[in-house]
Amino acid sequence: MTVSGSCLCGQIRYELHGDDLRSSFLYQCHCSRCRQVTGSAANAVLVIPERNFRWLAGDDLVKHYRPESGSGASFCPECSSPAPFSDESGRTYWIPAGGLDSDIGLKVGAHMFTGSKAGWDEFSGPGQCFDEGMS
Mean pLDDT by 10 residues, the chain (135 residues): 94 91 82 87 90 96 84 90 87 92 86 89 80 72
pLDDT of residue 134: 67
pTM reported for the whole predicted model: 0.85
In 69-91, which positions are buried (b, 16+ CB within 10 angstroms) versus exposed (e)?
A: eeeebbbbeeeebbbbbeeeeee
CA separation for the pair 15, 129 (Å, rounded): 29
Residue ranges of domains in the chain: 2-119
Residues 12 and 57 sit within 8 Å (Cβ to Cβ): yes
pLDDT of residue 135: 56
CATH of domain 2-119: 2.170.150.70
pLDDT of residue 12: 98
